[in-house]
Amino acid sequence: MPQNETNNTFDAIVIGSGMSGGWAAKELCDRGLKTLVLERGPEVKHLKDYPTTNKMPWEFKHRGRMPEKIVEENPVVSRCYAFREDASHFFVLDNDHPYIQDSPFDWIRGYQTGGKSLLWARQTQRWSQLDFDGPKRDGFAVPWPIGYEDLDEWYSHVEKFAGISGNKDGLEELPDGEFLPPMEMSCVERHFSDVVASEYEGKRHVVIGRCAHITGNAEYYAKQGRTMCQYRNLCQRGCPFGGYFSSNSATLPWADKTGNMTLRPDSVVYSIIYDENEGRATGVRVIDAGTKEETVYNARVIFVNAGALNTNLILLNSTSERFPDGLGNDNGLLGKYVAFHNYRGVVMATHDGFNDKHTEGRRPNGALMPRFRNLREQETDFLRGYAVSFGASKSYDQETEGFGKQLKDSLLNPSYGPWRVSARMMGETIPKESNRVTLAKDDPDEWGMPKLKIDVNYDDNDEKMLLDFFAQFEEMFSKAGFRDIRTLDTKQAPGLDIHEMGGVRMGDDPNTSLLNKWNQMHTCKNVFVTDGACMTSTSTQNPSLTYMAITARAANYAADNLENLMD
Q: pLDDT digit string (tens) for 118-130?
A: 999 999 999 999 9
3 state SS for 74-124: CCCHHHCCCCCCCCHHHCCCHHHCCCEECCCCCCCCCCCCCHHHHCCCCEC
* Distance, CA of 98 to CA of 95 (rounded, Å): 5
163-184: b (≥16 Cβ within 10 Å) or e: bbbbbebeeebbbebbbbebbe
pLDDT number for residue 96? 95
239-271: b (≥16 Cβ within 10 Å) or e: bbbbbbbbbbbbbbbbbbebebbbbbbbbbbbb
Sign of the dihedral defined by the CA atoms of residues 232, 238, 239, 244, in that order: positive
pLDDT number for residue 356? 87
pLDDT in tens, 373-385: 999 999 999 999 9
H or E, element range at 29:
helix 19-30
- In this structure, which topology does domain 1-45+112-162+236-340+433-446+499-567 adopt according to CATH? FAD/NAD(P)-binding domain (3.50.50)
pLDDT in tens, 451-485: 999 999 999 999 999 999 999 999 999 999 999 99
3 state SS for 314-358: HHHHCCCCCCCCCCCCCCCCCCEEEECEECCEEEEEEECCCCCCC
Sign of the dihedral defined by the CA atoms of residues 407, 411, 416, 422, in that order: positive
pLDDT number for residue 396? 77
Give whole-number Cα distances, 471 to 373, 436, 466, 474, 520, in Å.
Answer: 13, 31, 9, 5, 43
Q: Is the pLDDT of residue 566 over 80?
A: no
Whether 421 contacts 192, CB under 8 Å: yes
pLDDT number for residue 5? 46
The residue-averaged pLDDT of 33-54 equals: 97
pLDDT number for residue 313? 98
Whether 422 contacts 347, CB under 8 Å: yes
pLDDT range class, residue 162, cuts 50, 70, 90? very high
Q: Is the pLDDT of residue 254 over 90?
A: yes
pLDDT number for residue 267? 98
pLDDT number for residue 473? 98
Using DSSP, state whether 301 is helix, strand or coil.
strand
Q: Is the pLDDT of residue 7 over 90?
A: no
Q: Is the pLDDT of residue 309 over 90?
A: yes
* Distance, CA of 62 to CA of 66 (rounded, Å): 7
pTM of the model: 0.96
Whether 430 contacts 538, CB under 8 Å: no
Instruction: Report the relative pairing of strands 345-351 and 294-304 from DSSP bridges.
Output: unpaired
pLDDT in tens, 397-454: 777 777 788 778 777 877 788 999 999 999 999 999 999 999 999 999 999 999 999 9
Q: Is the pLDDT of residue 190 over 90?
A: yes
pLDDT in tens, 498-517: 999 999 999 999 999 999 99
* Distance, CA of 488 to CA of 424 (rounded, Å): 10
* Distance, CA of 131 to CA of 144 (rounded, Å): 10
pLDDT number for residue 68? 96
The residue-averaged pLDDT of 41-63 equals: 95
Quick one: 310 exposed, middle or buried, by C-beta within 10 A (0-12, 13-18, 19+)? Answer: buried
Using DSSP, state whether 273 is helix, strand or coil.
strand
Whether 503 contacts 533, CB under 8 Å: yes
pLDDT number for residue 2? 39
Beta bridge partners of 100: 453
* Distance, CA of 49 to CA of 223 (rounded, Å): 21
pLDDT number for residue 395? 85
Q: Is the pLDDT of residue 349 over 90?
A: yes
pLDDT number for residue 189? 97
Q: Is the pLDDT of residue 4 over 90?
A: no
Q: Of the candidates 356, 360, 359, which has an alpha carbon nearest to the alpha carbon of residue 392?
A: 359
pLDDT number for residue 417? 87
pLDDT in tens, 204-241: 999 999 999 999 999 999 999 999 999 999 999 999 99
In the chain, what percentage of residues exceed pLDDT 70? 99
In the chain, what percentage of residues exceed pLDDT 90? 92
- What are the residue ranges spanned by the domains of the chain? 1-45+112-162+236-340+433-446+499-567, 182-209+342-428+458-493
* Distance, CA of 498 to CA of 78 (rounded, Å): 13
Compute the mean pLDDT over every residue in the chain, rounded to the nearest whole number.
Answer: 95
pLDDT range class, residue 253, cuts 50, 70, 90? very high
Beta bridge partners of 422: 348, 391
Give whole-number Cα distances, 205 to 112, 124, 191, 286, in Å.
Answer: 38, 17, 12, 49
* Distance, CA of 108 to CA of 93 (rounded, Å): 9
pLDDT in tens, 544-560: 999 999 999 999 999 99
The residue-averaged pLDDT of 5-21 equals: 90
Using DSSP, state whether 140 is helix, strand or coil.
coil
